[in-house]
Amino acid sequence: MIHWFWLWLISLGVITYFVIQRSVKGVTRTPLWLLWLVMMTPVMLWTVTALVVGKRQMIPVWMQFIPFLICPFIYWWLIQRGRIAPSNPDPSHPVNPQLQSTEQNPPDTKPRSEITLRPINKDEEAQLHTCFPWTVFYLQKLEYRPQAVICRGQLRAASDFAYATIQENVCCHFGDRFLVLLQEGLNGKPFFVLVPNPRKSELGKDTRSSLTRPGLAITLLGLTLVTTFLAGIEIGGTNLRNISGLPIYPTMVTGLSYSIPLLLILGIHELGHYILTQRYRVQATLPYFIPIPWLPYLLNLGTLGAFIKIRSPIPNRRALFDVGIAGPLAGLVITIPVLVWGLSHSTVTTLPPEVGLLHFSAINPHNSLMLFGFSKLILGNRLTTDSAINLHPSAIAAYLGLLMTALNLLPVGQLDGGHIVHAMFGQRVGALIGHVTRFLMLLLALFVQGDLFLWAIVLLFIPAVDEPALDDVTELDQRRDLLGLLTLAILLLIILPVPKIL
């Protein structure tokens, strides 16, 4: 019966994905996976609740209908927010070029359809040729695409030097009109691409305050502090519906011992990303927290995490690597001390027959090599093969920090791990690693860690291909490659269970 349920859930997710894909194609820039996630939220919410609550109590009827009322509005808002404006036809060009007389289009001239593809005219094309010194990049051919000029030739210098030289030359001749990209073709040969700079009109304006929106960031931080504080009280064993008669000080200590560490872990993770974006002069928003209001009969964590939004292209793979890896490493710097302190204040209990990843009163440390190692170090011989851990609220915050770090480090698409493998191995190999990772996560969820099943399904709908950097050819140095491999090893230590022999 359980297998049929999971089969039904997968089928529903696949059907929903293709229905959304057909309905919003060419309508909005909002990522397809995000729209899918919103529409699947009711089913996922009920599934998680069923896994946590089981048959102990029924979900109220009003709770069953709230997601159906809210999610369609969120779905509509996301479509409208990313809606593609219809292009206005240029009155200087005819609606139907085929109606032009042959006199207006002599045989020795190029068709108007090809001319309209050109982002540059003939004079500018001659200037563009001068931007490519033959000792740096021997330009052989120009190809025109809508809103792009592809420059093919032979790279004769180091890729980083060639990119810097040609970018400077293009800037001298065309100003900030174009972004210069250095990519690698399917045949392994590098080529340059010029695309219009989408933020050219914004240059010179004071857009920092509108980009960072500090008021919104502070408001979301305050709301998340409240929601995680309430979640911490409930996680500590107090029913929020009966909170009025409880002593104030112990209740506040319980709530804050979960809320403060969790916000620090999430905030420092995102600040790591933000600081590196500023170092490489990449436009990005401040960290935004995602609060979740307290809802009865559900597992309340108080937040879905935090994020920053990158608003400009990443300059090169080195910057992509540094920005991607800074968040997880910064988060671990605070997560590990909090975990050690929290475990020292946790208690050992009997391992129940059925226990999940979010059953905080009886966490099985054998589900994670890293958690088991720290638990054994702190709790010693009290921890046996039949033992579970009743986590202190601070340990719960650190435990959630480990889970979120692991999920972010998965090498898929625009997750932190996806950025890391893209920077290490290139865009195509990174995408291949993403496909393999999604398959392995599904196997892990089906046969080892059943609680990871929902996340494994979500990974199937996250695009495996990461956005390219401007200079997507220049490789990393050995120091960064080694650091990237160590970070991926940390991912394995978090998500892999302890072998039976241990």
Q: Beta 178-184 vs 148-155: how paired, if at all?
A: unpaired
% of the chain with per-residue pLDDT over 70? 82
- How does pLDDT run across 432-489, given as a tens digit for each residue? 999 899 888 888 887 777 777 778 878 877 887 888 899 999 999 999 999 999 999 9
Which residues are bridge partners to 192 per DSSP?
A: 151, 182
Q: Residue 366 corresponds to which tokens in the numbers above?
A: 């054998």
According to the model, what pLDDT value does residue 113 have? 47
Q: What CA–CA distance (Å, rounded) separates 432 from 61? A: 44
Task: Name the token pair of 468.
Answer: 């390219």
| Amino acid type, 63 | M
**What does the mean pLDDT of the chain come to?**
82
The secondary structure of 399-427 as a DSSP string is: HHHHHHHHHHHS-STTSHHHHHHHHHH-H
Over residues 36-88, the pLDDT tens digits come to: 888 888 777 777 666 665 555 555 555 566 776 788 778 888 887 887 765 44
Burial grade of 390 (CB within 10 A; 0-12, 13-18, 19 or more):
middle
Question: What distance in Å separates the CA atoms of residue 482 and residue 216, rounded to the nearest whole number?
Answer: 38
Among 117-131, 133-147, 238-252, top mean pLDDT goes to: 133-147
CA angle 338, 343, 347 (to 5 degrees): 150
- The 3-state DSSP class for residue 474 equals coil
**Measured CA distances, 275 to 221, 261, 335, 386, 485 (Å):** 18, 20, 19, 44, 22
Lowest mean pLDDT among 6-15, 91-100, 489-498: 91-100
Using CA atoms, how far apart are residues 372 and 468, in angstroms rounded to an integer? 38
Pairing status of strand 148-155 against strand 347-350: unpaired
- The interaxial angle of helices 32-53 and 61-81, nearest 10 deg, is 160
How many other C-beta atoms are found inside a 10 Å radius of the C-beta of residue 318? 19
CATH architecture of 116-200: 2-Layer Sandwich (3.30)
Which pLDDT band, with edges at 50, 70 and 90, does 318 fall under?
Answer: very high
Q: Given a cut of 80, is residue 94 above it in pLDDT? A: no
Query: Residue 138: what residue type?
Result: Y
Lowest mean pLDDT among 80-94, 124-138, 243-257, 355-369: 80-94
pLDDT score at 384 = 84
Using a 10 angstrom Cβ sphere, with 0-12 exposed, 13-18 middle and 19 or more buried, the burial of residue 120 is middle
Q: Give the pLDDT confidence of 157-214 residue by residue, as tens digits.
A: 999 999 999 999 999 988 888 999 999 988 889 999 999 887 765 544 545 556 778 8
Which of the pair, 368 or 82, is modelled with greater confidence? 368
Q: Is the pLDDT of residue 139 over 80?
A: yes
State the pLDDT at residue 334. 96
pLDDT for position 39: 81
| Mean pLDDT, residues 397-405 taken together | 95
Phi, psi of 150 (to 5 degrees): -100, 125
Q: Specify the 3-state DSSP secondary structure of 291.
A: strand
Q: CA 52 to CA 59: how far, in whole Å?
A: 12
Q: Find the mean pLDDT for residues 221-228.
A: 94
- pLDDT above 50 (res 107): no
Tell me what the mean pLDDT of segment 333-356 comes to. Answer: 90
**For 266-295, what is the mean pLDDT?**
92
Domain boundaries, the chain: 1-81, 116-200, 208-495
pLDDT for position 225 = 95
The reported pLDDT for the residue numbered 235 is 84
